[in-house]
A and B are shown apart, each in its own frame.
Chain A
C-alpha cells in the first residue's frame, strides 16, 4: 500500500492519560500535516513538517500536544493529560514540496476520551 497510513485507527482512553498516534506518509513526500476534525466541523490545521523540521503550529495546539518527525519520515502526535474536549478524528496528510499539489490523507485516528 503506497498511501498514508495511520495507527491506531481507534483509541479510547481515560481522561488524564497520555496517548500517541503514528503517521506514515507516502515515502517520497517531504511535507507532512496533522489536522483534527470534531463533529460537525471541517478538519482544522494543527501542525506542519517539512522533512524533520516543524515549520508551523496552530494556536489550537496547546502545550499538551507535541508532534515529531525525527527522521523526516514517519511522524507521531502525542497528547498528554487528555481531556474530553480532545475527542476527535486526528488526520495526517502528506504532499510533495511542489506548488499546487494536493495533500493525501490517511484514514485518521478516532480518539475518544472517557
Chain B
C-alpha cells in the first residue's frame, strides 16, 4: 500500500498572504507527482505534473518543487486570493509494474482564503 501524506489538512489565510503545503510520497519506484486543485462543485483541475528531481514548475502565482530522493513536494501560493480557496491534492504515480497508471492521492489540503 502506497502512502501519500499531505499537510496541513486545512489552512486559513488572509488575502494577500503567501502560503505553502507539503506532499510526501514513497521515494522508490517514482515516475511522476501530480498536483490538482479541486474547487467545490467543480472538477479537479490539473496544476502540475512533475517528474525530475529538483524540478520547479510555476503557473501564475502558484509554484511547486520536487525532491524525489527524499520523497516530498511543496506547493507555494504567492499573495493568496479568495479564488484560490480550494482543496489541493497531490498524487503519486509509480514507475513500473501493475500500478503504473494508477494515481495514489493524498487526502488533500483544504485552503480557505479570507478576504
Contact = CB atoms under 8 A, between A and B. Distances in A.
A102 interface: yes
Nearest to A47: B102
Nearest to A106: B43
Nearest to B48: A102
B36 to A, nearest CB: 8
A101 B34 CA distance: 9
A101 B49 contact: yes
B103 A105 contact: no
Interface stretch (B12-20, B60-68, B76-84, B104-112): B104-112
A33 B102 CA distance: 9
B106 A56 contact: no
A104 B46 contact: yes
B43 A42 contact: no
Size bracket of the B interface: 20 to 34
A30 to B, nearest CB: 12
Bin chain A's interface residue count: 20 to 34
A42 B106 contact: yes
Interface string B14-47: 0000000000000000001010100001111110
Interface in A3-61: 3-4, 31, 33, 35, 40-45, 48, 55-56, 58
A100 B91 CA distance: 13
Most buried by B among A42, A91, A101: A42
A76 interface: no
B97 to A, nearest CB: 10
Given A4-B43, A101-B49, A105-B43, A33 B105 contact: no
B42 A44 contact: no
9 contacts: A35-B103, A42-B106, A43-B89, A45-B102, A48-B101, A56-B98, A102-B34, A102-B49, A103-B103
Interface of B: 4, 32, 34, 36, 41-46, 49, 51, 89, 91, 98-99, 101-108
